[in-house]
Amino acid sequence: MGENLRWYLRQFYPYRWIIFLALLGAILEGVAYSGLSFVLKQLVDKVLVEKNFNLLKLSAGALIGLGLLKQVGFLTSELLYKYAVTKISATLRVKVYSKLVNLPLEEYQKLPQGEWVGRITNDIRSFKDYSESFGIKVFRELFTALFLTAVLLYFDWKLFLLFLFVTPFLSGAFKFFGSKRKKYSRIYQEKFALFLNYISNLLENFENVKFLKRGFVNFLTKEKVLKLFKAEYKLTLYSATYLSVIELLGYLFASVIILYGGYRVVSGELSAGTFVAFIGTLFLLYNSLQALQRTAINYRALQPVIERLREVLEKFPSEKGGNVTFKGIKTALEVKELSFPSQSRVLEEVNFSIPKGAKVFVKGPSGGGKSTLLKLLAGLYRSYEGKILYDRVELRDFSIKSFRSKVFYLSQNSAVFNDTVRNNLLIANPNATEKELHLALKLARAEFVLSLPKGLDTVVGGGGVQISGGQKQRIALARLFVTNPEIIFLDEATSALDFPTEREVLKNILNFHGGKTLFFVSHRWELEKYFDIVLEVKEKTVRVIT
């Protein structure tokens, strides 16, 4: 048993009793299918040949009974199995999300955003779709095939042996088309993730795209759509061709069996009822074998999806911290010989010290390393060389949870979620009172929220009230006033505000969090005068100006 299959089966273990009941349903369905063959045999031999009207009524009743039995089995197996698959898919989506948010920032940035979106959306959807076309159908068709095989052997073992000659051909077709399906399933998943990333980029820059050369943008879009189409079409092509080849083989061998079986009926060696029932059962068996092979091929297509999910859950590392509890800065933050990253340095052998409660203005040219420096000090980048010491304790020795509980970090990309304004504030402090929320909005100059249709309960973002970039930043900044951090990192978090508003919000921050350590990145150097220390980040170094 391969690793992927073992991993796949482990996902079903918590639902083993549900799966057991689903298997019982599959057995009932197989029994009902097999019973149809006996009804057909009696119908030809006893009813049509011997003109037995009473048996005709019994046959009709048996047919209804078997039909009901089949539907009971089908609904039991189908509904219970799909319930388990849906629960597993939901659990996997939560696990992938949890893994994603616990990735080190360096690992997250190795793949484009669309790739991560694809892993948590399209891969989980594909897992669910393929699982529903695989799983219980294997057992349903397997039980049906076993029961029908027993019936065929009971009817006539010589005709059954003739049917076995088709098996090697079915096996060869499965091997060839299964490998192709697996290959193009992986290619499709990868192409879809790239396409999703491209579309995400277009939508994120929707207004800017309108002023770009539309013809060239359309050319790039069509090129990526074409690549996705080719991968998807190849997947469809091999699936359809496989079904056609299998069906053609079925007709070929059915004609051979009809010739041989018909000859034996004419010669009196076999009854007409047995022969007709054998042919009917044979077609049912052949359909079950086709279905078994289709589900096996679907598992081949499922394997690349499993591999991609396992890669996220098992191969990507999670953030790791130490065991020391961070309680805030008591004396100073010291940076010694700090270099990052290991290749293509942005910062190199940086040294400085910041006392507790200092207000630090960080300036420098675009791309000089200001944002990188804040991410390092906030513990987002952890693969640095040198030391970042909080009260002489290395940053990586603190537990991540305790450190982040004392830190507020906000970048230029305001994290305002498609939800109510209230929830967008409570996400920073779920225990904040109504009074504290209103005060936070006032200090962040986000009083406009109170004039929205439902005030704090207004949904903002997609599907809700559309707000400007500056309004988003003010809502995000309001979170700072419902929390009580020891250290604050603001990386151009006020860049979308006009200067008077930015200056007023900054003054509110300095007053409200007077004794806290603040790092503030901005290109508006006029704000330097409000700070104790200036850090100039330039040419891989950091210069301290007091």
Place of tokens 């299959």: 5
The mean pLDDT of 509-529, rounded to a whole number, is 91
**pLDDT tens string 166-203:** 667 666 666 676 676 667 777 777 777 777 767 766 66
Return the number of other C-beta atoms located less than 10 Å from residue 137's C-beta: 19
Q: Are 105 and 380 in contact (CB under 8 A)?
A: yes
Q: Are 481 and 433 in contact (CB under 8 A)?
A: no
Bridge partners, residue 533, by sequence: 360
**pLDDT tens string 397-421:** 999 999 999 999 988 877 777 788 8
Give the whole-angstrom CA distance, residue 68 versus residue 184.
40
Give the whole-angstrom CA distance, residue 101 versus residue 90.
17
Q: Are 239 and 297 in contact (CB under 8 A)?
A: yes
Q: What pLDDT, on the 0 to 100 scale, is given for residue 120?
A: 81
Percent of the chain with pLDDT over 90: 25
Mean pLDDT, the chain, integer: 82
The top-level CATH class assigned to 332-544 is alpha beta
Q: Are 34 and 85 in contact (CB under 8 A)?
A: no
Give the whole-angstrom CA distance, residue 515 versus residue 294.
68
> What does each C-alpha distance from 30 to 25, 59, 139, 247, 349 come to in angstroms?
9, 19, 10, 22, 72
Q: What pLDDT, on the 0 to 100 scale, is given for residue 181?
A: 64
User: At what angle are helices 122-132 and 167-204 packed, to 10 degrees?
Assistant: 150
Q: What share of the chain is helix, strand, coil (3-state, %, to 5)?
A: 65, 10, 20
Q: Are 195 and 222 in contact (CB under 8 A)?
A: no
The top-level CATH class assigned to 1-155+303-319 is mainly alpha
**pLDDT tens string 242-289:** 667 766 776 777 777 777 777 777 777 777 777 777 777 777 777 777
- Report the amino acid identity of residue 210: K
Place of tokens 């970090």: 409
**Is residue 339 over pLDDT 70?**
yes
Place of tokens 């009854």: 271
> How many Cα atoms within 13 Å fall on the side-chain side of residue 171?
5
**Is residue 362 over pLDDT 90?**
yes
The domain limits of the chain are 1-155+303-319, 157-269, 332-544
**pLDDT tens string 298-322:** 777 788 888 888 988 988 888 888 9
| pTM of model > 0.85 | no
**pLDDT tens string 435-481:** 999 999 999 999 998 888 888 888 886 554 678 888 889 998 999 99
The mean pLDDT of 322-329, rounded to a whole number, is 92
Return the number of other C-beta atoms located less than 10 Å from residue 475's C-beta: 23
Q: Are 52 and 99 in contact (CB under 8 A)?
A: no
Give the whole-angstrom CA distance, residue 344 versus residue 114.
25
More confident residue, 27 or 537: 537
